Amino acid sequence: MESPGSCLEEFRAVPFIECHGRGTCNHYATNHGFWLAIIDKNKQWQKPMSQTLKAGGLKDRVSRCQKTEIKEPINAPEITYGTGAM
């Protein structure tokens, strides 16, 4: 989830698209997809429950990544460390 390409603007369950680092992609219309799901905070440490989602309920349960664009470089203060004895 590091590159901007890993955050899709619009979620689509199918077709499933797998892109390779060589500039080629494969399209699979019938493959299973696995997505990160949103869960309630009070259930995050419980045993996961399998769940089949119908087309209308997918967008409410699929986790979304967020990306932030920094428009200007951040200027951090220069830090100097003393080498003198205490």
The string of pLDDT tens digits covering residues 1-13 is 445 555 666 666 6
- What average pLDDT does the structure give for the chain? 70
Residue 72 lies in a domain: no
Residue 74 lies in a domain: no
Overall domain count for the chain: 1
Residue range of the domain that includes 11: 4-42+52-61
- Give the whole-angstrom CA distance, residue 48 versus residue 78: 47
**pTM for the model:** 0.33
Residue 69 lies in a domain: no
Nearest C-alpha neighbor of 35 from the set 5, 56, 65, 9? 65
Residue 82 lies in a domain: no
The yes-or-no verdict on residue 37 having pLDDT over 60 is yes
Question: What's the confidence (pLDDT) of residue 65?
Answer: 65
Per-residue three-class SS string for the chain: CCCHHHCCCCCCCCCEEEECCCCCEEEECCCCCCCCECCCHHHCCCCCCCCCCCHHHHHHHECCCCCCCCCCCCCCCCCCCCCCCC
